Amino acid sequence: MAFKSFSGRTYDIVSDKVKQSDSFDEIPIIDLRRPEDEVIDSLRDACTRVGFFYISNHGIPQAVIEQVLSTAEEFFALENATKNQVHFKNGAGLCGYEGFQNVHTDETRKPDLNEAFSWRYAPDIDRSIEHNSSPTKTQQGNDAVESFLTSGQNLWPDAKPEMRRDISEYYSHVLVLARRLIRLFASVLALPETHFDNMMQHPGSMGKILHYPPQSAKGLDTPFGIGAHTDIECFTILCQGGDVPALQVLNPKGEWILAPPIKGTFVVNIGDMLTRWSNDTFRSTIHRVLNITGRERYSMPVFIGPSYDTIIKPLETCLEGGPKYDPISAGLYVWKRLAVSRLDKDEYERQKINIESQLAAPTEV
């Protein structure tokens, strides 16, 4: 069987069964305390061959992780009516609460069996840097028109005010790690390590906390926690809360590999935007989630991309054989990918006109 990603690449899947592996050599573990040249060599292999890897010694305190997971668990335990007060359809940023089966990631399957709370980058929840740089065109926004491109469109639950505090603390730590990783990726791509720095001052970054209930594995039409997909932005930093294994990664042989939580690590995977930017030098890898453990599962991915008015076009260091992709603004690329699985056709077309008008003269990098 075959799977076709949003970006148009086709992948062969030899079996829908999940392969158990004792070594998980297919998904390497990279220790960020090792000498930088060794880390860069390991990243080069992981990003070009696998698209997924674990990182250890990442610098994010365990207490911060546990606090935000605890608060999120309390939020998801609230009544649906309370959670729906911050439903993503109540705002313009495609973020907020998503109920069970609100999102259809893999259209060949039933909608995703998870509930989630998501947020977008805004300077007021980024404690990692001083905000003394000029905002880009999309961060300045338009007071008359709220849109996905405008910072500050987050929806925070009044019933759980500590969500904003705890998420801000966690998110700020993740952004420090993300800005470190993007410098390492630049070195892997034979660019100056600071190449992406300006684009990451106000990144096009979304975070999400997901709750997966336990489910049955029976039946061909079983919904997945998240259906098979590749991620949108440049890369994802994923905290697999607790010890519940459910993440499955498609290896180059077309086999599903279980990627269990490993204590003290995060999972990092390459997204389609960085694959496109690197002209297919970096690999974005299909993955899905199926929680058949009989236990509740929580996870926290943070999706990292550049400021939304950045133009994504193949990098000069990756043009052997010619460019494979046309330029596109980062904001429009992300919005299209999110909106197509969340909005009906008419609403999608209406909002797309507004998004495209705001990106009429984006800043090229």
CB 116 within 8 A of CB 303: no
- Max CA pair span of the chain: 56
CB 238 within 8 A of CB 269: yes
Q: How confident is the model at residue 296 (pLDDT cuts 50, 70, 90)?
A: very high
CB 253 within 8 A of CB 14: yes
Please tell me the distance from the alpha carbon of residue 76 to that of residue 72, in angstroms, as a whole number: 6
Whole-number mean pLDDT of the chain? 86
Please tell me the distance from the alpha carbon of residue 51 to that of residue 83, in angstroms, as a whole number: 34
Average pLDDT value for residue range 217-234: 85
Please tell me the distance from the alpha carbon of residue 331 to that of residue 355, in angstroms, as a whole number: 8
List, in sequence order, every residue forming a beta bridge with 10; answer none if it has no partner: 4
Going from the C-alpha of 238 to that of each of 33, 94, 210, the distances in angstroms are: 19, 20, 11
Q: Is the pLDDT of residue 244 over 50?
A: yes
The least confident of 205-209, 328-332, 351-355 is 351-355
Angle made by CA atoms 59, 233, 127, in degrees to the nearest 5: 40
Q: Is the pLDDT of residue 140 over 50?
A: no
Dihedral sign, Cα of residue 74, residue 261, residue 299, residue 288: negative
At 17-66, the pLDDT tens digits run 544 443 334 799 999 999 999 999 999 999 999 999 999 999 999 999 99
Q: Is the pLDDT of residue 164 over 50?
A: yes
Q: How confident is the model at residue 363 (pLDDT cuts 50, 70, 90)?
A: very low
Structural domains for the chain: 2-358 (2.60.120.330)
The least confident of 98-102, 196-200, 251-255 is 251-255
Length of the chain in terms of residues written: 365
pLDDT of residue 94: 82
pLDDT of residue 283: 94
